[in-house]
């Protein structure tokens, strides 16, 4: 790859070897380009200076805060100058753990502005996760709120700084007088009274990253419990995400995006920041998910699209039941990924909100690999997780890496221009993730439907082997989602000496808690074969999820294996 010299350091050394013939094809087909998200944003700053770029709704604050493109562009340059002044260099890592608001995008774009690499971190993570990510990334700078939702980020960061040699600078949003003034984000980095360095514009221009430079270091959500630092270049991210979603949802600069998923996760970072700001859209944030707040603001802000997890769509449908007045019908598209979509959700979204629920499938490493098009029939949306993206290739193979016929469940593998550039610091993991002939093995199971779409059947670990019988957890979950007293469900295995594994349904109840006998009877009446019936039911208040909404089934499995029960998360 044509990595610019200023990123020819430790980060660039972890970029996997792309086949030169593939690279030429990606460029010829227009899936890789010579521009970056940052270039797009800076053009919008000039063209759309008076247009609202970010509208931030913060819990406990009665009015939203609006930042225009012109204001955001000036702030980005000021922050870029501040980062240079404290010694941040091209290819250095800057870790950002911000609640949804203007601060995260401003510092991320400023980091890109000087050729450094943003490392977004979900706001829900605490000291254990932070220690791993800050140490593994070798981050020089860490920015976070002083406190948020009762957690003292400043105290945790100060402890970690004493333990991590590479961590040089700490800055805190909304800082008060109880901490070192030098760590106050607004006072030290933003301070509008501070004179900008002479010739800052001329200094910044040569530092702009190229399209093949590293755009972000994002740690995987941890559905397996082992985070890995995935590297994306500007080109792989553009091809795997921005180009896909803009095409599928027919997005334009006139659309208004909404994002409640954390900007610290790849979903929020790309679809809540890079996509709308590179397209010249207005993007609306909530710093805490508030479904009633969303329903109130849909018409006020003119929200037309969002991308989030199934759980958010389920919350919207549930909240709508408690409202006499119908919400605004401006939201035409809800792109939905991160977890299986229960039957009937697409119908309910259309009936309640006139919103097209657009299923998609992909992961941090692949970008969006399959997606439906806006305007597809509800029946089509209900039947699969999208058609393969034209420039990404998907195959379904058996354990011997041989392709299986349509309709047969197998391992889903992907190749194409949207694949990630590698795992930072782990060439061994990067090599293990790819087959000998260059396909990325997603770890997901799926099948090709009769019309050529992709249907996800769960993770490889979602296949429970009970007495030699392969049991699909997703199939049981889909059946149980229709039970009137089940709001959410995850089906996992637990160990058994005789059968190897047994089946447990972990349930979030809607009203009265269903018993095991009632669950079995319901599945029996629905025509499900006896080997698929759970042998145990556990009722919890909520399921453990990653920031992107994926259920952390490893947490449930570990709890069942250790104690035979599941604690409420």
Which element (helix H / strand E) includes 530? none
The pair of structure tokens assigned to 423 is 């795992």
Q: How far apart are CA 338 and CA 318, in angstroms?
A: 19
Q: What is the pLDDT of residue 9?
A: 54
Digit-coded pLDDT (tens) for 549-569: 778 888 998 888 888 777 644
Q: How far apart are CA 105 and CA 207, in angstroms?
A: 19
Q: Which residues contact 455 (CB under 8 A, 6 or more apart)?
A: 383, 384, 385, 446, 447, 448, 449
The pair of structure tokens assigned to 36 is 């970056």
Q: What is the pLDDT of residue 117?
A: 97
Q: Give the bridge partners for 494, in sequence order.
A: 502
| pTM > 0.75 | yes
DSSP code of residue 551: B
Digit-coded pLDDT (tens) for 510-550: 999 999 999 999 998 887 767 789 999 999 999 998 776 77
Asked if residue 384 lies in contact with residue 455, where contact means CB atoms within 8 angstroms, the answer is yes
DSSP code of residue 545: B
Q: What is the pLDDT of residue 2?
A: 44
Contacts 24+ apart (CB under 8 A), 170-175: 170/141, 170/142, 170/143, 171/141, 171/142, 171/143, 172/143, 172/144, 172/145, 172/146, 173/98, 173/103, 173/143, 173/144, 173/145, 173/146, 174/145, 174/146, 174/147, 175/146
Strand, helix or coil at 508?
Answer: strand
Q: How far apart are CA 98 and CA 161, in angstroms?
A: 18
Below-50 pLDDT ranges, the chain = 1-6, 8, 223, 568-569
Contacts 24+ apart (CB under 8 A), 198-201: 200/77, 200/80, 200/81, 201/77
Half-sphere exposure of 541 (CA within 13 A, CB side): 3
CA-closest candidate to residue 516, choices 499, 535, 529: 535
Q: Which residues contact 418 (CB under 8 A, 6 or more apart)?
A: 31, 236, 237, 239, 240, 241, 244, 366, 367, 368, 369, 389, 391, 392
Place of tokens 């809607």: 510
Q: What is the pLDDT of residue 4?
A: 45
Q: How far apart are CA 472 and CA 458, in angstroms?
A: 8
Q: What is the pLDDT of residue 339?
A: 61
Q: What is the crossing angle of helices 37-47 and 69-85, to 10°?
A: 130
Q: How far apart are CA 463 and CA 339, in angstroms?
A: 16
Domains identified in the chain and CATH numbers: 5-448 (3.40.50.12780), 467-563 (3.30.300.30)
Asked if residue 63 lies in contact with residue 94, where contact means CB atoms within 8 angstroms, the answer is no
Place of tokens 């991590």: 164
DSSP code of residue 209: P
């Amino acid at each position: 790859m044509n990595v610019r010299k200023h990123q020819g350091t430790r980060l660039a050394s972890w970029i996997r070897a792309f086949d030169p013939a593939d690279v030429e094809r990606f460029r010829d087909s227009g899936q890789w380009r010579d521009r970056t998200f940052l270039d797009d944003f800076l053009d919008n700053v000039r063209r759309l200076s008076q247009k609202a770029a970010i509208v931030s709704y913060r819990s406990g604050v009665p009015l939203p805060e609006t930042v225009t493109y012109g204001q955001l562009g000036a702030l980005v340059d000021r922050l870029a100058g501040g980062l240079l002044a404290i010694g941040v260099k091209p290819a250095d890592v800057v870790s950002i753990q911000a609640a949804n608001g203007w601060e995260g995008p401003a510092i991320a774009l400023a980091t890109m502005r000087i050729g450094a690499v943003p490392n977004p971190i979900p706001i829900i993570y605490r000291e254990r996760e932070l220690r791993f990510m800050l140490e593994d990334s070798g981050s020089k700078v860490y920015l976070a709120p002083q406190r948020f939702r009762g957690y003292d980020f400043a105290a945790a960061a100060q402890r970690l700084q004493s333990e991590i040699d590479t961590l040089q600078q700490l800055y805190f949003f909304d800082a008060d007088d109880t901490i070192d003034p030098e760590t106050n984000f607004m006072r030290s980095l933003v301070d509008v009274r501070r004179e900008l360095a002479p010739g800052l514009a001329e200094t910044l221009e040569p530092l702009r990253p190229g399209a093949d430079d590293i755009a972000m270091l994002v740690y995987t959500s941890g559905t397996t419990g082992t985070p890995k630092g995935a590297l994306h270049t500007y080109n792989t991210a553009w091809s795997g995400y921005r180009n896909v979603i803009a095409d599928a949802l027919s997005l334009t600069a006139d659309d208004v995006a909404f994002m409640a998923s954390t900007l610290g996760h790849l979903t929020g970072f790309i679809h809540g920041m890079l996509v709308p700001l590179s397209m010249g859209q207005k993007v609306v944030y909530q710093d805490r998910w508030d479904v009633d707040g969303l329903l109130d603001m849909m018409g006020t802000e003119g929200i037309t699209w969002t991308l989030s997890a199934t759980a958010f769509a389920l919350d919207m449908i549930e909240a709508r039941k408690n409202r006499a007045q119908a919400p605004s019908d401006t939201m035409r598209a809800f792109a939905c990924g991160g977890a299986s979509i229960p039957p009937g959700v697409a119908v309910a979204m259309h009936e309640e909100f006139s919103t097209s629920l657009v299923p998609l499938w992909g992961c941090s490493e692949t970008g969006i690999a399959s997606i439906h098009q806006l305007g597809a029939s509800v029946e089509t949306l209900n039947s699969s997780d999208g058609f393969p993206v034209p420039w990404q290739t998907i195959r379904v193979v058996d354990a011997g890496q041989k392709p299986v016929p349509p309709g047969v469940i197998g391992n889903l593998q992907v190749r194409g221009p949207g694949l990630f550039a590698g795992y930072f610091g782990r060439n061994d993991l990067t090599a293990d993730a790819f087959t000998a002939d260059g396909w990325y093995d997603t770890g997901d199971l799926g099948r090709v439907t009769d019309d050529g779409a992709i249907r996800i059947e769960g993770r490889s670990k979602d296949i429970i082997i009970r007495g030699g019988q392969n049991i699909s957890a997703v199939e049981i979950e889909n059946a149980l989602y229709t039970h009137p007293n089940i709001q959410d469900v995850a089906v996992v295995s637990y160990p058994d000496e005789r059968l190897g594994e047994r089946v447990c349904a972990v349930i979030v109840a809607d009203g009265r808690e269903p018993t095991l006998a009632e669950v079995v009877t319901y599945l029996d009446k629905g025509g499900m074969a006896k080997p698929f019936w759970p042998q145990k039911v556990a009722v919890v208040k909520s399921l453990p999820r990653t920031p992107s909404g994926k259920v952390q089934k490893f947490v449930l499995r570990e709890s069942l294996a250790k104690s035979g029960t599941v604690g409420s998360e």
